[in-house]
Structure formats: structure tokens, C-alpha cells
Amino acid sequence: MDSELDGDVVVVGAGVTGLTTAVVLAERGARVRVWTREPVERTTSAVAGALWWPYRIAPAAAARAWALRSLDVYEGLAARGEPAGVRMAEGVLGETGRDEVDGWAAERLPGLRAATAREHPRPGLWVRLPLIDMSVHLPYLCARLRAAGGTVETRAVTRLAEVRAPVVVNCAGLGARTLVPDASVRPVRGQLVVVANPGVRTWTVSTDPDSGELAYVFPHAGRLVLGGTAEEDAWSVEPDPVVAAAIVRRCAALRPEIAGARVLEHRVGLRPARDTVRLEREVLPDGRLLVHNYGHGGAGVTVAWGCARDAARLAGG
């Protein structure tokens, strides 16, 4: 059973990691304030494609454990019909073999099977996974935090030492590069295109075996999120029209009905990559507690609840 917390906590960062961690802490009894440089709707998490899958995250064993704990939560939210933007959706993990899920997730994924040639031109897996609409999920987390007595404040932090609270939880993502400072945190740029949905109901994720280029199609209400890119150490948040056109072209090669779909929006996000996730505690010289929870790369949504619960434990709950 989760233990109770009693005390003041400041969570730095209001992406999915920060908000989820704040919700867990607040629901365990802590008085939680979230400090964020950017409004919630402008965080990297707001750009995420948000399919549950441990993508670009290490260490693998820990990431899988966090992912499975998060899967429990997302399945519950979807089953209860909570207004969380979470639904269980079927689709294809292209270029993925059964060996990549056996031993850790296969038994948790009912209906898992090899994709047919009609479903995907190359080998892959047909599977039912949580697909999260971040435009709904982030406000849901904010509302749940407020219901537990927590707050979200737009407040820039330049040094973690300036946060005067008994417990500080660092969920700053890419911001940890300067706040800690931790030069091992680096951006992996992701660009995507949002188009009107011409009737696509299932999702697809595919990586071209020759070029290594990524393509994904995620259906949401009235729109499709098309991706994507994974550019190491690229800092620009301006959409590149050439890249956008290539994304649409790759996705249309997988789902021809996408060709000519009306473009609604272009998005860019910088994934906070690190060789390994940093999830640990340190006691500051003045006795205050600092818990780090950052470096989740492209899997922040996937591991959010598992990491949040471990962070809460490290914070004393």
C-alpha cells in the first residue's frame, strides 16, 4: 500500500513526468506546488505522439518495469472512461519481432499477433496499446492535482538551490542540463504534422530498415498525428517544411488515404535524452531532500506513473 506523506514539496517541471509525479505526491498527502517555466500546454509533453511503448529510454530493464506499472494505470483510466484522453487502440508495431516483447510484455498484451501483409508491408506485430491524447491528458493531470490540493505556478527556476522547500523534485527534463547542471542531458528533436483524419482508425509505427527513417500515424478525434524525426543534439523548435513534407510522404506510403489530407498544424518537441534515466535522491548540505526524475527520452508518457511512484518513495512516501 502507498504510504502517506506530510510536508511541502516543490516539483520543478510541468511536463507529463512532473505533473504525474505531483499527482502521486499530492494524493499521498503532500502539499505540492509545481513550478514551470512554460505553461503546461507549451511543454515538450504537449507535442508528444504519446503511444505507450518504451522508445529511446535506458536502462531497458528498469524502463520496462516502469512502463508496465504505467500500463496498469492507463488501462484503468481507459476502462473506467475517465476524461483522461486515454484509450486502448489497435495498431501495428512495424519491424518488431515477437522476441522484443516476449519475457516482459507479451503476457500483458492480449491479442498480440504477427501483423498480416495487408496490415503492414514488412514484418511487425498487431497489438492493442494505450494511445494518449495529450491535449486532454495534461489538463486532466492538472485537474487531478488541484483536486488533491496541489497547484501549478508559472515560475522560472534558474538554480535548484533557490527552491526553498523541504523536498524538491527535479522533473525539469531538458532543463536539467542547466539546473543541475547535467551536461549529459541532450535534445533529440522530434517534428510531426497534424492533419485532418480521413477515416484512419488504427495506428502504425514503422522504421524503414534501409534508411532508418521513422514514420508513425496516430489517430485522435478529428485528426491524425503524423511523425516523425529523431535528430540528435538538434535544438531548433521551428518546423522545417522540407522535413514536414517528407513526414507526410512516408506516412502516406503506409496509409495511402493520408495523401492530400488537410494540414492542421506543425509541431516540434525536444525529447530530453540521457544515456540512462536519473531517478535518485540526494541530501543537500542544509538537510533538504532533492529527488531527480529526468532523462526519459522519447518514453516520458510510457514510464510516467512507474517513475512517479518511485520518485514519491524516494521523497519519503
My answer on whether omega of the bond before 110 falls inside 30° of 0, hence cis, is: no
Contact 187, 270 (CB under 8 A): yes
Q: Which residues contact 311 (CB under 8 A, 6 or more apart)?
A: 21, 24, 25, 169, 171, 279, 291, 293
Identify the CATH assignment for 1-85+133-183+275-317 out of 3.40.50.720, 3.30.565.10, 3.40.50.300, 3.40.50.2300.
3.40.50.720
| pLDDT of 1 above 60 | no
CA–CA gap between residue 256 and residue 236 (Å, rounded):
30
CA distances to 101, 123, 192, 274 from 209, rounded to whole Å, are 19, 11, 20, 25
CA terminus-to-terminus distance, the chain: 10
Amino acid identity of residue 137, one-letter, is H
| pLDDT of 130 above 50 | yes
C-alpha cell at 267: 509541431
pLDDT, tens only, 33-68: 999 999 999 999 999 999 999 999 999 999 999 999
CA–CA gap between residue 314 and residue 45 (Å, rounded):
24
pLDDT, tens only, 23-37: 999 999 999 999 999
Binning the chain into helix, strand and coil, the percentages to the nearest 5 are 30, 30, 40
Rounded to two decimals, the pTM is 0.96
Locate the domains of the chain by residue range: 1-85+133-183+275-317
DSSP string, 258-305: GTTPPEEEEEEEEEEE-SS-EEEEEE-TTS-EEEEEE--TT-HHHHHH
